[in-house]
Amino acid sequence: MHGTVVMKFGGTSVADAERIRRAAERIVAKREQGLRVVAVLSARGKTTDELIAWAQEISPHPDPREMDMLLSTGERQSCALCAMAINDLGHRAISLTGSQAGIVTDTSHTKARILEVRADRIRQGLDDGAIVLVAGFQGVSTAHDVTTLGRGGSDTTAVALAAAVGADECEIYTDVAGVFSADPRIVPGARKLGMVSFEEMLEMSASGAGVLQLRSVEYARNHGVRIHCRSSFDDAAGTVVVGEDVTVEHPLITAVTHSTGEARVTLLGVPDTPGIAGRLTTALAEANVNVDMIVQNEPVSEGQRADMSFTVPRDELQQAHAALEPLVGEFGIGSIRSDEAMGKVSVVGAGMKTHPGVAAKVFTVLGDEGINIHMISTSPIRISCVIPGEHVPGAVRALHGAFELSGPDTIRPEQPFGEFQS
Amino acid sequence: MHGTVVMKFGGTSVADAERIRRAAERIVAKREQGLRVVAVLSARGKTTDELIAWAQEISPHPDPREMDMLLSTGERQSCALCAMAINDLGHRAISLTGSQAGIVTDTSHTKARILEVRADRIRQGLDDGAIVLVAGFQGVSTAHDVTTLGRGGSDTTAVALAAAVGADECEIYTDVAGVFSADPRIVPGARKLGMVSFEEMLEMSASGAGVLQLRSVEYARNHGVRIHCRSSFDDAAGTVVVGEDVTVEHPLITAVTHSTGEARVTLLGVPDTPGIAGRLTTALAEANVNVDMIVQNEPVSEGQRADMSFTVPRDELQQAHAALEPLVGEFGIGSIRSDEAMGKVSVVGAGMKTHPGVAAKVFTVLGDEGINIHMISTSPIRISCVIPGEHVPGAVRALHGAFELSGPDTIRPEQPFGEFQS
């Protein structure tokens, strides 16, 4: 008995008939190696963006339940089309919706979390000798409604199915050759990483590396799923994401990541009353706003007021304001300010844990570039700085150079980078 | 407690954001009259045709199960978008897939038949005060796969739901003002019919009137569902389809219908052996070919061979040939010929039952026009003639005039006619 593999294809990998056929051929080739194959597909190319545009044409704030009903159709179309292509290659394929595949989620529409995978129907299909295609990015809620898992959710679908069926590997096929030491669009000399640990990948995904959805990496770490992130356009090995015990090297710095989609919200004159910070962040969480960094300056003396800043994804700024405004009056907060043009640059590396001085070097490098650091946050293996958005490319290049991350395995310039997909 | 109504909107009635909003307003207006509202929506405009084109780009003969997975997405999109629009109007709407709505079908993919409607979830939604939107044209098979009901299947969805929830009326909103005495594109003086019987409507749908799917009329007759077929662009009453006991008048001829999408297949030299006709038609049925008329000329004497002709929809001609060819060899049939350019003209009228001489008048009128009749079939309330496709418009006009079907209630010339929708 051979093993089982889960293969996930992103939106650009199934963008048109020709690419769908190529994905079908890759899937069939695996099957012909004797493997049991589950493939997870994203929506074709820009389908999800088009569906979102339709919804916005109808309604300024589309109902989230209905948004999920709408958005979930794109992946179903990809799967059905790919199944047709596989059937034409002489293999039997069946496509399943997230619901049919047994992906049970909570009821947080547009950002649902997987609670359970009831993979009986997938196992039945595999036992019958079929290739099983599963629509990514979606599930069925405990209230029996269609849900979606948020941008990049197909990665999480793939990892969750890999865990559920006990796959040997979860292959993520994408339009980049793997995970790089920096975005090659910004740093042409960026190096493809052969292997990274879950912990590093988590920090990289959380700080802007678009290649894998953060939640998929968390899920993989929690369930011990080996991820292989690779190009759908050639057969070269990509980047393997594995447990820290498996990785052989612990470089000081593995990669420089960045994000340009940040907004900063500052609350001026927050009364020094216990519990206010909790109420504010609870209000943001209830509005489904993902707060990243939070910085509060202590009032100088008893009874004075504090200022509090935090960063949110720029496209959630409006919700953040809407959630906070009622509390401004309630608590007598001075005012709210926001800055939409913020970016973030981070250095990530497992070796950082045992090497002090990395933070100092980061700040020095940015200072030498004349870049003003607005906020700082750190983890044992990451240092992130919020900086003005316009300085992000220069900061990435400066840090990548200063930590000498370039290597022989660089990306070919004709290859695109940075697929963000459902 | 007010009653329940089912409203069905065809593809052109939800073709863009503006029309979806208009449909939403119509739905809300009914709700504000105090009615419980279930709305069935088709896919937007040309969506189904586009999806079919995608499939054909991938595969010459797409797998039917996968075709259904693909095609069922269009109606889901319409429903989600319309639910968003209704929510913006201050009413609560939930969209349901065919499966969620409890539409259980057999496993005949792309042409499934409804076996049962388990409307509990719809009733729950109505009891909660919500407007329930259901994706038309689709269901879930007894094998738990997504199925579709064939072209025009949304009409059947609407009628089946009307029966299941005990609706007072099933309103079919379309881009024509109702059912006409002939296609107004061909006969500008055609009259809108105020009321027709199920039997007449069945014959009209079966013989080419595109306004209602045949199966939906059968279902309505079998379950006593009153259908109101009307324009989605104005508030004028359309055509009501009811039981024969309810109709007040039994005109000699109600309408002239036609079809130009016919093909004729002729088997020359069929041996005069019992059972051959059965084997041939069984082969066609197994290939899912809808045979319409069948004509066999008796052999002149014992042991001679017969010729057999039948008509099929032109787009099923290839399947018909494929199904018959193995039998040509097996039975020693002389040859197969086919003619793709055939049409059919029919006169339908409940009064025909008690008035002999209608057939003679039809043949005389066509003869006077110099139109050659290739095949004839009749029912108690219908006479159909297969004629060359190019003569169809002239034949319709001649028959409409000869039976004096024009009336005061004629269509406005700017109004389009002939939506054929999912």
> For residue range A220-267, what is the model confidence (pLDDT) as tens digits?
999 999 999 999 888 899 999 998 776 656 678 999 999 998 999 999
CA-based nearest residue to A135, from A81, A189, A57: A81
DSSP label at residue B118: -
Lowest mean pLDDT among A379-388, B280-289, B403-412: B403-412
Min Cα–Cα distance to chain B from A84, Å: 6
Residues of A with Cβ-Cβ distance to B93 under 8 angstroms? 66
A109: Cβ contacts below 8 Å, ≥ 6 apart: A64, A65, A67, A68, A141, A145, A147, A148
CATH of domain A4-248: 3.40.1160.10
Residues of A with Cβ-Cβ distance to B81 under 8 angstroms? 54-55, 58, 66, 70
Q: State the pLDDT at residue B422.
A: 42
ipTM over 0.90 threshold = no
Average pLDDT, chain A: 89
Q: State the pLDDT at residue B90.
A: 95
Q: State the pLDDT at residue A230.
A: 95
A39 Cβ under 8 Å from any chain B Cβ: no
Which of B55, B87, B95 comes nearest A84 by C-beta? B55
Task: Tell me which residues of chain A, numbers 91 to 110, contact chain B at a CB-CB cutoff of 8 Å.
Answer: 93-95, 97, 100
Q: State the pLDDT at residue A19.
A: 95
Q: State the pLDDT at residue B417.
A: 39
Is B419 a residue whose pLDDT tops 50?
no
**Cα-based torsion angle of the residue sequence B74, B78, B79, B84 in order, rounded to the nearest 10 degrees:** 140
State whether the Cα torsion A12-A16-A21-A22 is positive or negative: negative
Q: Helix or strand or coil: residue B114?
A: strand
Which of B58, B63, B73 comes nearest A20 by C-beta? B58
**Tokens representing residue A255 in the block:** 């990669």
Residue in A closest to B24 by C-alpha? A58
Q: State the pLDDT at residue B415.
A: 37
DSSP label at residue A357: T
What architecture is domain A257-402? 2-Layer Sandwich (3.30)
Which of B59, B73, B85 comes nearest A84 by C-beta? B59
Q: How many residues can be counted in chain A?
A: 422
Average pLDDT over residues A396-421: 64
The per-residue pLDDT for range B3-13, each reduced to its tens digit, is 999 999 999 99
The answer to whether the annotation marks B185 as part of a ligand binding site is yes
The answer to whether the CB atoms of B59 and A87 lie below 8 A apart is yes
Q: How far is CA B153 from CA A43, A235, B111, B217, B388, in A?
A: 26, 45, 9, 11, 29
A89 Cβ under 8 Å from any chain B Cβ: no
Residues of A with Cβ-Cβ distance to B80 under 8 angstroms? 55, 66-67, 69-70
The per-residue pLDDT for range B182-194, each reduced to its tens digit, is 999 999 999 999 9
The answer to whether the annotation marks B175 as part of a ligand binding site is yes
Classified by CATH at the fold level, domain B4-175 comes out as Carbamate kinase (3.40.1160)
- Cβ atoms of A155 and A213 closer than 8 Å: yes
Q: State the pLDDT at residue A413.
A: 35
Average pLDDT, chain B: 89
Average pLDDT over residues A24-48: 95
Q: State the pLDDT at residue A276.
A: 84
CA-based nearest residue to B338, from B411, B265, B408: B265
One-letter amino acid for residue A65 of the chain: R
B286: Cβ contacts below 8 Å, ≥ 6 apart: B323
Residue in A closest to B55 by C-alpha? A81
Q: Helix or strand or coil: residue A55?
A: helix
Q: State the pLDDT at residue A71.
A: 96
The per-residue pLDDT for range B227-266, each reduced to its tens digit, is 999 998 888 999 999 887 766 566 789 999 999 989 999 9
Average pLDDT over residues B386-400: 95
Question: What angle (nearest 5°) sits at the alpha carbon of residue A308, between those of residues A304 and A314?
Answer: 160
Min Cα–Cα distance to chain B from A28, Å: 16
Q: State the pLDDT at residue B206.
A: 85
Which of B55, B65, B73 comes nearest A73 by C-beta? B73
Which of B62, B72, B95 comes nearest A69 by C-beta? B95
Residues of A with Cβ-Cβ distance to B79 under 8 angstroms? 69
Is A302 a residue whose pLDDT tops 90?
no
The per-residue pLDDT for range A266-300, each reduced to its tens digit, is 998 888 777 888 888 889 988 888 888 888 776 66
Residues of B with Cβ-Cβ distance to A81 under 8 angstroms? 54-55, 58, 66, 70
Q: State the pLDDT at residue A218.
A: 92
Pairing of strands B382-388, B375-379: antiparallel
What are the residue ranges spanned by the domains of chain A?
A: 4-248, 257-402
Q: What is the pTM of this model?
A: 0.82
Average pLDDT over residues B338-344: 92
The per-residue pLDDT for range B115-132, each reduced to its tens digit, is 999 999 999 999 999 999
Min Cα–Cα distance to chain B from A24, Å: 11
The answer to whether the CB atoms of B85 and A58 lie below 8 A apart is yes
C-alpha B146/C-alpha A135 separation (Å) is: 14
- Cβ atoms of B191 and B406 closer than 8 Å: yes
Average pLDDT over residues A16-38: 96
Instruction: Establish whether domains A4-248 and A257-402 are of one fold.
Output: no
Q: State the pLDDT at residue B421.
A: 38
CB atoms within 10 A of CB B357: 9
User: Which of A370-379, B136-145, B412-421 has maximum average pLDDT?
Assistant: B136-145
A vs B, Cβ pairs < 8 A, gives 107
The answer to whether the CB atoms of B94 and A70 lie below 8 A apart is no
Pairing of strands B131-135, B93-96: parallel
